[in-house]
Amino acid sequence: MFSAKARFTRRDKAFPLRRPVRQARSSVDPATCSSCHAVRLKRTWTLDPTVCREVARWEQPATILCPVCRLSPQAVPSGILHLTGSYLPPHAPEILKLVRNIERVAIQKNPLERVSRIREDSPGEVVVETTSEKLARRIGRAVRRAFQGTLQIRFSHQDKPVRLLWRRDLPQASS
């Protein structure tokens, strides 16, 4: 029998994912990104310094844009993290430093996972947009672990983009 939670969705009736049209895959190897200086070697992007030095020693690698730098101007985030609450304004520098540290670790593993934009919508709200859903979830969980609060993860139809809502309020002073 089918469980009550089973969802049946016809794929031909599902809303199409609104992503920009991909350009044809580049067959150029090795190559370097002209914007972020990531290196493509054996169909994999990396920021490993030894690989970058080795590729630089070769005869003039091709200069192209990596997929993230190509999509950045179009501002299509795959993960959106909303940070809100009265706890945020006094602790915003610490929270944003944690976000940048997690991004730095993620870039070393996969240079295509990045924070594309951090914007402050209002004094009590910061929005972090990432290029991957996994990075957004990782940042949200780290913020919840480090600063407590509540974290809600909301997947949209077809799991893109994922929206995370983190909130923590300061306790009210009793009179």
Tens digit of pLDDT for each residue in 5-18? 555 555 555 555 55
Please list the helix, strand and coil fractions of the chain in percent, rounded to the nearest 5, in that order.
Answer: 35, 25, 40
Domains, the chain = 31-71 (no CATH), 75-167 (3.30.70)
Q: Is 53 exposed, middle or buried (0-12, 13-18, 19+ CB in 10 A)?
A: exposed
Q: Which two tokens stand for residue 9?
A: 């969705």
pLDDT tens across 19-45, in order? 554 555 556 778 888 888 888 888 888
Residue with tokens 């970058």: 52
DSSP character at residue 8: -
Please write the tens of the pLDDT for every residue from 103-151. Answer: 999 988 888 888 988 998 887 899 999 988 899 999 999 999 999 999 9
* pLDDT tens-digit series, residues 81-110: 999 999 988 999 999 999 999 999 998 888
d(CA 121, CA 24): 36
Beta-strand relationship, 62-64 and 31-33: parallel
What pLDDT, in 10s, does the model give residues 141-163?
999 999 999 999 888 776 578 89
Alpha-carbon torsion 114, 93, 141, 4, what sign? negative
Q: Give just the sign of the alpha carbon dihedral 31, 65, 138, 100.
A: positive
Q: Is the pLDDT of residue 60 over 90?
A: no
